Structure 1
């Protein structure tokens, strides 16, 4: 349960909660989850409705986000040119692996999905919901990112993220979790074998810049019936190669923006 104080913080807490749930919520439920009085939550919602961020369903009276946040996010992402630059590399990996390829970027101490390419053409296709935030402790992408951090930071961030995500799964053993991250760090790639989703295997690698900064992750994911253990090493090799290419392309985003600003 989060405790929020300032008006701005409360407004953003409402937006984040509605974005996380991705569905309409009643006033009482929203107030309870944010530990707010109903009157205070009602004021926040009225303000956000007036500003066009939230709307109230006329029949149920429930509240939900408008598309304004999604539209602004798409505009910002388009302006960075990041997906334009990286898309061909992701498509190449998708064609090679014939599975779903996804890329996430580091935002503060979290990962956010920003791009995906479906490589499977026939048979069973893994097509998850494109939620924004990446679960860190159970996903291959999350583990690839955490493996680049110090042990103290990795554990702290993983536990906090698990609590934020609802705590469906928590780190049962810190020692075992750290052993997994050490193995990931040693080989350069992470794997999630049905730990994030039943029947799904994902292999991911961190995207790093020349100075060692981790800026994102890239992964291949698909049904366990196809991503069998005998394919793991080969897929991991392709993911590592793609991560290296993306790391080389990443600075072009800044150069591209600088050119546009000076034009």
Structure 2
């Protein structure tokens, strides 16, 4: 299979993952800029491997749960859900807001855990399948601020600042604005997003490392988010302290995981 074919296959899967309804083959052909016959061959291969499903009535196509199954299997093998969820539940209880954890994956952040702490009033409960827009989210800026400025700006620029209708009214629109907000993040010690990701919401985030030493690699970010009327500047210090405590706990977990990976267990222990 050629590189171009692999690229088209991935584009197709990503498009289906972002579609709430099954999609006609003609629409997929338009997205891929390919003849319908060629798209049909690609879809037939994906259907045969259970990555895509075809509705027998409408003949439309939709993503199967295979991708989700593999993702959760990978997380389970890393012991991430159980280890991180305890920390997130505690953070949610302490802040009484919605909390999320994202992991660094290459030049991206990916949501892997969440916990809802709000018990009264408005509840913020966004879709975990949404892409993390690095320049518009507190999590994105918390991570970018840990990178050398040139690298951080290059990553953000490579993704573009996108359609303003897909982010909040206060989102940055160019590299110069992002540079200023990353500088603010470094100075404060935490990132904020005030109607930047979406209207009416606010968030605070900090990074956590794969160990408690300053030179340890950044493993991911954690955030507290909710309605703008609750995540006010008066609460920033309180929420930031809770986030930093949780980040320290997560750093211990990641440090332990790293040590465990390098342990050479005795044969008797491995077979127990």
Asked if 2 retains the 8 angstrom alpha-carbon contact of 1:144 and 1:184, the reply is: yes
Query: 1:136 is matched with which residue?
Result: 134
User: Which one of the candidate residues 208, 221, 224 is aligned to 1:217?
Assistant: 221
| 1:100-128 deviation per Cα after TM superposition (whole angstroms, max 9, x unaligned) | 11000011111100000101112211111
Query: 2:246 is matched with which residue?
Result: 242
Normalised to the residue count of structure 2, the TM-score between the two structures is 0.86
Pairs within 5 Å for 1:175-214: 175-209=176-210, 210=213, 211-214=215-218
Consecutive unaligned residues in structure 2, runs of 5 or more: none
Give the direction of change, closer, same or farther, for the CA distance of 1:60–1:166 in structure 2 (3 Å limit). Answer: farther
1:52 aligns with 2:56: no
| 4+ residue segments displaced more than 6 Å | 163-167, 259-262
Asked if 1 retains the 8 angstrom alpha-carbon contact of 2:135 and 2:161, the reply is: no
Asked if 1 retains the 8 angstrom alpha-carbon contact of 2:99 and 2:225, the reply is: yes
Separation in 1, partners of 2:264, 2:225:
36
Cα deviation, residue 17, structure 1: 2.1
Cα deviation, residue 253, structure 1: 2.5
Separation in 2, partners of 1:231, 1:140:
15
Give the direction of change, closer, same or farther, for the CA distance of 1:150–1:252 in structure 2 (3 Å limit). Answer: same
Larger Rg belongs to = 2
Query: 1:34 is matched with which residue?
Result: 32
1:233 aligns with 2:234: no
**Which 10-residue stretch deviates more, 117-126 or 15-24?**
15-24
Tell me the C-alpha RMSD between the 2 structures. 2.4
Asked if 1 retains the 8 angstrom alpha-carbon contact of 2:111 and 2:128, the reply is: yes
Asked if 2 retains the 8 angstrom alpha-carbon contact of 1:188 and 1:240, the reply is: no
Separation in 2, partners of 1:248, 1:88:
13
Normalised to the residue count of structure 1, the TM-score between the two structures is 0.89
User: Which one of the candidate residues 108, 116, 119 is aligned to 2:117?
Assistant: 119
Separation in 1, partners of 2:65, 2:245:
37
Consecutive unaligned residues in structure 1, runs of 5 or more: none
Pairs within 5 Å for 1:60-209: 60-131=58-129, 133-162=131-160, 168=166, 171-209=172-210
Number of residues paired by the alignment? 260
